């Protein structure tokens, strides 16, 4: 493989794989590939964690997933996160805090319990919590709730630091090229990948992993394939530093419905959690508005109303900041993971919607298995990247 004449080669060495995207998913792919003995160059047009990773709360959830391939990915990831945690410094704030899903009335509770029963059959550890026992888990929860379900496997991590620390933990096998935008996916006469052209020069490798998150569809297009990744905007509200008022990840049962919805309109459901640094994080709003970062005061109003309804004690707490992030979603709400049969050497690891932090380790392991030819840790078929026929949105 020789550098092309027009664009000088950026690096003399040829890594085994180029990962495009230095977010959490890219970091996990690079980490697992490096641990399997491969050399990896991670390319990002911005900084580490510059996209969705830097805009999320760091949810590592099984509780919001219905039985199926995504839940399998989440369960494997939960195990992997627990193994990774000791490798990360304390500032990555990994906390196996558990989740608590609450229902306001008996009808909602019956539905929640039925949903939980199916999850339990699929291997999720959980425990029904009667209404009068909710305060043992969350002393500041509003009184009068019908009940809930406790999910001890849910956890949280500080996503930007986790991504940065994971890239470091990959050691010398990982090379970072930040501020470097991929402008072309280079292919040989046989149509197979031979590297990428970047704003800083050409980089060559026999494999390219698309971990470009919300921009994964654009990178796919650079490689000539169709992958309909679209942004779904969400706001997060962050309060002043507070004592530990919220101990679990706490959310209302209708969050699950919102996650799976196809509506473009604004949807909000209260998702509340504390952080070791003190601030309480409040989500989750969903709307499809492209990459518009303009503040939606209506989204904030609903987030604040939902959070203070769950935790009345927060009414006087002040929000110090809020920010928008864009969840990269695919039409069937499943990520694209694995080799793209249309372009040999191209792999995808994107479209994780709002669950990318949680699903990253299993994604990285699956991608690495595809690269090394090892047995995949779970069935990759539901995540195949060519499942969307061209012409779909």
Partner 1 sequence: MTVPAAEPGGPGTEGPHPVPDASADPYDLVVIGAGPAGLTGAVTAAELGLTVALVDSAARPGGQYYRHPAPALGAGRPPAPHHDWTPFTDLGHRLAASRSLTHLTEHHVWSVARESDGTWTAHAVTGADGTDGRPVRTRGRALLLATGAHERHLPFPGWTLPGVVGAGGAQAMLSAGLVLPGRRVVVAGSGPLLLAVAASLAAAGARVPAVVEAAGYLRYARKPRVLAANPRKAAEALTYGAGLLRHRVRLHPRSAVTRVHGTERVEAVTVARLDRDWRPLPGTGRRIDCDALAVGHGLVPQIELATAVGCATRVLPDGTRGLALGADQETSVPGLWAAGETGGVGGAELARAEGETAARAIAARLLGRRADPARTALLRRRRDRLRAFADAMAAAHTPGPGWTGWLTDDTEICRCEEVPAGRVREAVTDLGARDPRTVKLLTRAGMGWCQGRMCGTAVACLASRGAPAPPPPDRRLLAVPVPLSALAAEEGEPWEPGLPEIREVPKDGEAPRVPEPPAAPRPPDSPRAPGSPEAACAPRPRPTP
Partner 2 sequence: MSRPPAGPAGARPEPFTITFDGRPVPALPGQTLAAALWAAGILAWRTTRVGGRPRGAFCGIGQCHDCLATVNGVPNRRACLVPARPGDALTTQEGHGHDRPGS
Q: How far apart are CA 161 and CA 163, in angstroms?
A: 5
- Give all strands (DSSP E) within 188-278, no chain letters: 193-198, 201-204, 207-210, 230-241, 249-252, 267-274
Query: Whose CA is closest to 10, among 199, 191, 168?
Result: 199
Q: How many CA atoms lie within 13 A of 342 on its CB side?
A: 15
Among the listed residues 144, 243, 290, 373, the single contact to partner 2 using CB under 8 A? 243
Tell me how far, at minimum, the Cβ of 278 lies from partner 2, in Å: 6
Q: 3-class SS at 191?
A: coil
Tell me how far, at minimum, the Cβ of 136 lies from partner 2, in Å: 20
Q: Which of residues 10-29 bind partner 1 (CB under 8 A)?
A: 22
Which H or E run contains 126? Answer: none
Tell me how far, at minimum, the Cβ of 230 lies from partner 1, in Å: 15
Among partner 1, partner 2, none, residue 96 binds (CB under 5-8 Å by kind): none
Q: Which is nearer to partner 2, 279 or 283 (CB)?
A: 279
Q: How far apart are CA 78 and CA 62, in angstroms?
A: 8
Q: Which of residues 254-313 bind partner 2 (CB under 8 A)?
A: 278
Contact status: 261 vs partner 1 (CB under 8 A): yes
Find the part of the chain contacting partner 1 (CB under 8 A) among 72-80, 209-217, 225-233, 236-244: 236-244
Contact status: 128 vs partner 1 (CB under 8 A): no
Q: Which of residues 301-340 bind partner 1 (CB under 8 A)?
A: 301-310, 312-324, 331-333
Among the listed residues 241, 260, 312, 341, the single contact to partner 2 using CB under 8 A? 241
Contact status: 318 vs partner 2 (CB under 8 A): yes
Q: Which is nearer to partner 2, 5 or 318 (CB)?
A: 318
- Give 135: exposed, middle or buried? Use CB within 10 Å, 0-12, 13-18, 19+: middle
Q: 3-class SS at 37?
A: coil
Q: Which is nearer to partner 2, 103 or 280 (CB)?
A: 280
Which H or E run contains 308? Answer: helix 297-310
Chain residues binding partner 2 by CB under 8 A are 240-243, 278, 318
């Amino acid at each position: 493989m020789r550098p092309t004449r027009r664009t000088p080669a950026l690096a003399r060495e040829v890594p085994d794989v180029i990962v495009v995207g230095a977010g959490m998913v890219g970091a996990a792919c690079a980490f697992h590939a490096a641990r399997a003995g491969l050399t990896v160059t991670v390319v990002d047009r911005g900084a580490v964690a510059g996209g969705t990773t830097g805009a999320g709360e760091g949810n590592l959830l099984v509780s919001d997933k219905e039985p199926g391939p995504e839940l399998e990915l989440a369960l494997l990831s939960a195990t992997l996160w627990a193994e990774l945690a000791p490798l990360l410094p304390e500032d990555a704030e990994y906390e196996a805090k558990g989740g608590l899903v609450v229902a306001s009335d008996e009808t909602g509770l019956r539905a929640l319990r039925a949903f939980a029963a199916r999850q339990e059959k699929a291997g999720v550890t959980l425990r029904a919590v009667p209404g009068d026992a909710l305060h043992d888990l969350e002393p500041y929860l509003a009184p009068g709730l019908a009940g809930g379900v406790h999910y001890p496997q849910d956890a949280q991590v500080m996503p930007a630091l986790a991504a940065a620390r994971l890239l470091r933990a990959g050691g010398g096998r990982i090379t970072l090229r930040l501020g470097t935008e991929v402008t072309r996916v280079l292919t040989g006469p046989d149509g197979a990948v031979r590297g990428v052209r970047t704003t800083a020069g050409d980089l060559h490798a026999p494999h390219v992993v698309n971990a470009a998150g919300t921009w994964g569809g654009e990178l796919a297009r650079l490689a000539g394939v169709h992958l309909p990744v679209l942004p779904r905007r969400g706001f997060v509200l962050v309060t002043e530093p507070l004592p530990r008022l919220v101990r679990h990840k706490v959310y209302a049962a209708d969050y699950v419905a919102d996650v799976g919805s196809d509506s473009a309109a604004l949807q909000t459901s209260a998702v509340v959690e504390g952080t070791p640094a003190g601030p309480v994080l409040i989500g989750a709003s969903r709307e499809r508005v492209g990459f518009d970062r303009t503040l939606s005061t209506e989204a904030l109003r609903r987030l604040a109303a939902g959070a203070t309804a769950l935790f009345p004690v927060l009414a006087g707490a002040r929000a110090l900041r809020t920010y928008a992030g864009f969840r990269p979603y695919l039409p069937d709400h499943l990520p694209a993971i694995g080799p793209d049969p249309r372009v040999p050497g191209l792999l995808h690891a994107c479209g994780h919607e709002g669950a990318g932090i949680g699903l990253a380790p299993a994604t990285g392991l699956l991608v690495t298995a595809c690269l090394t030819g090892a047995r995949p840790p779970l069935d990759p078929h539901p995540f195949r990247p060519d499942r969307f026929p061209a012409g779909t949105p």
